[in-house]
Amino acid sequence: MRGIIKSSIARKVAMALSGLFLVVFLAQHFTINITSVISPNTFNEWSHFMGTNVLVQAVLQPILIFGVVFHFVMGFILEYQNRKARGDVGYSIFRGSANSSWFSRNMLISGIVILLFLGLHFYDFWIPEITTKYIEGDMSGMHNGEFRYYEETVEKFANDPYRTGLYVLAFVFLIFHLLHGFSSAFQSVGFNNKYSKALKTFTKAFAIVIPLGFAFIAIFHFVTHL
């Protein structure tokens, strides 16, 4: 097991597995969020379940936070090591566009934008939620006799073109990140066979559809509350 902890392949696999875990989380997050467009009642019920269920709050949430932090920290460590590996003098001309996609070469940029977005997203939703539940001790999920989740979500985007714009921008960078990252994770864990082409098509579709779906939700709540 010594090698698996210290080696470049282990780091690569760790990045892949944490990335795949976050992709699963994205799919779950999207599934709940899209109900805010279709059925506010369903959104309220599912949000309340996720926000108060002991397994979700005490087990899955810490794992998720660890996964996010691990993915970012490991990403920065790998970037540092990779830049060092080029040597003290870099190329005067490096035609990366001749042999690879912009998305694959700039995961750091898309990752940093997503990290900044997470700061805003936590400020908007996660910190108020934690404050209400665990500092003020209100686990009811109610406000003025009704579930508060839908109203709180809508309130963030209604009449706020700047916040809506920032969310949409972040989702565009999420597309960039996933376009390379999702399919790349399978290659990292050693999955490259006759099914890889079909898998790549699926990962690319996911990389575009899910972030666009998130952007649609933000724009929907902004437009319907003008």
How far apart CA 67 and CA 54 sit, in angstroms, is: 19
Long-range Cβ pairs for the range 111-114 (8 Å, 24+): 111/72, 111/75, 111/177, 113/169, 113/170, 113/173, 114/170, 114/173, 114/174, 114/177
**Which residue in the set 9, 27, 56, 209 belongs to the binding site for other proteins (CB under 8 A)?**
9
Q: In the range 14-43, which residues lie near other proteins by CB under 8 A?
A: none
**Which residue in the set 39, 41, 52, 101 belongs to the binding site for other proteins (CB under 8 A)?**
101
- Chain mean position to CA 46: 19
DSSP state string for 87-112:
-SS--S---GGGTS-HHHHTHHHHHH
82 binds other proteins per the rule CB under 8 A: yes
**Whole-number minimum distance, CB 62 to other proteins, in Å?**
26
- Alpha-carbon Rg of the chain, whole angstroms? 20
DSSP state string for 157-178:
HTT-HHHHHHHHHHHHHHHHHH
78 binds other proteins per the rule CB under 8 A: yes
201 binds other proteins per the rule CB under 8 A: no
4 binds other proteins per the rule CB under 8 A: yes
197 binds other proteins per the rule CB under 8 A: no
Residue pair 175/208 in contact by the 8 Å Cβ criterion = yes
105 binds other proteins per the rule CB under 8 A: yes
144 binds other proteins per the rule CB under 8 A: no
89 binds other proteins per the rule CB under 8 A: yes
137 binds other proteins per the rule CB under 8 A: no
Closest CA to 121 of 50, 9, 29, 13: 29
143 binds other proteins per the rule CB under 8 A: no
92 binds other proteins per the rule CB under 8 A: yes
127 binds other proteins per the rule CB under 8 A: no
Binding site for other proteins (CB under 8 A): 1-4, 6-13, 78, 81-82, 84-96, 98-101, 104-105, 107, 180, 184, 187-193
